[in-house]
């Protein structure tokens, strides 16, 4: 019969919070950031607060979609290779010009792409269907009615809603807003996130490494992850395991942070400074979450503005998975997103798996969608379960998520897969 300690270890610790409880506790305390009016390019990547309506038509005037000649249909109806029609060119209109003359019988105007068509225009003859002549032009092919004319308002008409509230401002949306004349726009701003890696053993890439030291991968990885989640991320590497330096660094950084993420120093070690320092403040709660990797977690608020802070474990894979499961949803919530989870699919697992009882396990994996686009894809675990295995993490495009009560999965069984990016 196992002793108490062994029994707890086997079944998971009853005092551990479930992943779901920890996440919902976090999201209850994270509010969308207050809307801000930003210049278009500063709004790029943010979510629109209000719907946007066009104040004018797009295009704003009838214009040519080809370099060529603006004509009346009756004048060119008989044009052909054998018997070209000859017209007098009465105007020459470049983009930005205003036409000076209306078209009369037997006349045409040379016109460039985007230039306003003169009054009386019924179609445009592309220059390739002519001898490009001036002051008369020979036309060898007749356009159809309205051909190569872009009508006023055929893209967007005045008053029309062009973007719904909640739309993410990507490059196409920036282009549209500029086209309708908007210079500034109200959005949920991108959260500013400070990523801080702690540990006296950490060395920045590019520096020589000594015995017992390791490179600081977490601060880079999480800064990139925060950017991928839409945040403006600031990286602070190399905070040593010194309580005073740590608290001073966090205080200094609060000025530019809507959210702080630390890694390392939260387990049970003698130098686990993050836990030691922040526990004393009483506003950050530390505990164990029933998951692997990512068991030791801390979350709370800090500083005069009650800035949310996540203290993630130092093992790189634990930090990565914790970010995915807890921090990313919080960042999306701050941006006003309705959906904060990664897309999840069911997939056939290529190998048999085991998992600790009482802990949700996140396994690095490669997901392959179904070849025909219908039905279930397959998923292959990559690497082992060790929380230090960054090599296999970098080959993964998904995480297999096994519920806490699942201890074994047969080869070919269906599993839940969280797709990364
Ligand atoms: N006695 C116990 N020991 C540990 C427990 C426990 O419950 N009891 N939990 C283990 C688990 S699970 C995890 S996860 C880790 C969490 O440790 P810490 O958050 O305290 O992190 P550190 O001790 O500072 O570092 C752990 C590991 O990760 C490396 N590390 C740290 N920062 C970085 C970085 N920025 N880039 C790359 N690698 C980093 C560090 O060198 C260590 O190897 O605790 C277990 N122990
Ligand atoms: O939970 Mo730790 O995050 O497994 O290595």
Q: Ligand 2 centre from 314 Cα, in Å?
A: 9
pLDDT at 141: 98
pLDDT at 5: 37
Which neighbouring-strand residues pair with 289?
17
Residue 416: C-alpha distances to residues 17, 343, 347, 375, 377 (Å): 21, 10, 6, 14, 11
Q: Which atom of ligand 2 is nearest to the CA of 322?
A: 3
The predicted-structure confidence for 215-262, as pLDDT tens digits, reads as follows 999 999 999 999 999 999 999 998 999 999 999 999 999 999 999 999
pTM over 0.90: no
The Cα angle at residue 389 between residues 387 and 390, in degrees rounded to 5: 115
Q: Which ligand is nearest to the CA of 289?
A: 2
ipTM score? 0.98
Q: Ligand 2 centre from 325 Cα, in Å?
A: 14
Q: From the CB of 12, is ligand 1 less than 6 Å away?
A: no
Query: Ligand 1, from 275, 313, 318: best to mutate by most atoms within 8 Å of Cβ?
Result: 313
End-to-end Cα, the chain, rounded Å: 46
Mean confidence (pLDDT) of the chain: 94
Q: pLDDT > 70: what percent of the chain? A: 97
Q: From the CB of 266, is ligand 1 less than 6 Å away?
A: yes
pLDDT at 94: 97
pLDDT profile of the chain (421 residues), mean per 10: 40 79 97 96 95 97 98 98 97 97 98 98 98 97 98 97 96 97 96 96 95 96 97 94 95 97 88 89 93 97 96 97 98 94 96 96 97 92 92 96 97 97 81
Domains delineated in the chain? 4-33+189-334 (3.40.980.10), 37-58+154-188 (3.90.105.10), 63-144 (2.170.190.11), 344-419 (2.40.340.10)
Q: Which atom of ligand 1 is nearest to the CA of 267?
A: 20
Q: Whose CA is nearest to atom 1 of ligand 1?
A: 268
Q: Which atom of ligand 2 is nearest to the CA of 267?
A: 2
Query: Ligand 2, from 9, 313, 383, 385: best to mutate by most atoms within 8 Å of Cβ?
Result: 313
Q: From the CB of 217, is ligand 1 less than 6 Å away?
A: yes
Q: From the CB of 387, is ligand 1 less than 6 Å away?
A: yes
Q: With helix as H, strand as E and coil as C, how does 44-97 read?
A: CCCEECCCEECCCCECCCCEECCCEEEECHHHHCCCCCCCCEEEEEEEEECCCC
Q: From the CB of 264, is ligand 1 less than 6 Å away?
A: yes
Distance between alpha carbon 372 and the CA centroid of its chain, in Å?
27
The predicted-structure confidence for 261-297, as pLDDT tens digits, reads as follows 999 999 877 778 999 999 888 899 999 999 999 999 9
Q: Ligand 2 site: residues with CB under 6 angstroms?
A: 292-295, 313, 315, 318, 387
Say which residues have a Cβ less than 8 Å from residue 93's Cβ, sequence separation at least 6. Answer: 70, 99, 109, 110, 111, 112, 115, 116, 117, 118
């Amino acid at each position: 019969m196992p002793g108490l300690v062994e029994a707890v270890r086997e079944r998971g610790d009853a005092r551990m919070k479930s992943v779901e409880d920890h996440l919902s506790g976090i999201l209850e305390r994270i509010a969308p950031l207050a809307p801000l009016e930003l210049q278009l390019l500063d709004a790029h990547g943010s979510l629109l607060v209000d719907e946007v309506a066009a104040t004018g038509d797009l295009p704003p005037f009838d214009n040519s979609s080809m370099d060529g000649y603006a004509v009346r249909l009756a004048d060119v109806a008989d044009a052909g290779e054998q018997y070209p029609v000859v017209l007098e060119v009465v105007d020459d209109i470049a983009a930005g010009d205003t036409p000076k003359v209306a078209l009369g019988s037997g006349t045409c105007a040379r016109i460039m792409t985007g230039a306003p068509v003169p009054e009386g225009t019924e179609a445009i003859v592309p220059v390739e269907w002519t001898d490009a002549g001036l002051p008369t032009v020979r036309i060898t092919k007749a356009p159809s009615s309205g051909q190569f004319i872009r009508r006023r308002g055929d893209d967007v008409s005045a008053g029309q809603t062009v973007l719904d509230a909640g739309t993410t401002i990507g490059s196409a949306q920036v282009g549209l807003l500029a086209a309708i004349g908007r210079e500034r726009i109200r959005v949920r701003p991108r959260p500013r996130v400070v990523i801080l890696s702690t540990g006296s053993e950490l060395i920045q890439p590019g520096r020589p490494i000594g015995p017992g030291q390791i490179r600081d991968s977490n601060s880079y990885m999480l800064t990139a992850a925060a950017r991928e989640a839409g945040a403006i991320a600031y990286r602070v590497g190399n905070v040593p395991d010194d309580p005073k330096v740590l608290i001073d660094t966090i205080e200094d950084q609060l000025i530019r942070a809507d959210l702080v993420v630390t890694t390392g120093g939260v387990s049970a070690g003698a130098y686990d400074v993050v836990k030691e320092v922040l526990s004393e403040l009483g506003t950050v709660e530390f505990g164990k979450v029933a998951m692997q990797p990512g068991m030791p977690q801390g979350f709370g608020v800090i500083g005069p503005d009650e800035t949310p802070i996540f203290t993630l474990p130092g093992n790189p894979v634990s930090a990565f998975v914790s970010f995915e499961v807890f921090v990313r949803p919080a960042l999306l919530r701050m941006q006003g997103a309705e959906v904060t989870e990664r897309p999840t699919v069911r997939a056939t697992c290529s190998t048999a798996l085991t998992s600790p009882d009482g802990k949700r396990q996140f396994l690095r994996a490669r997901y392959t969608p179904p070849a025909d686009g219908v039905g279930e894809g397959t998923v292959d675990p990559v690497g082992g379960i060790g929380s230090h295995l960054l090599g296999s993490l970098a080959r993964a495009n998904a995480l297999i998520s096994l519920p806490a009560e699942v201890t074994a999965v047969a080869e070919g069984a269906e599993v839940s897969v969280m797709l990364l990016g």
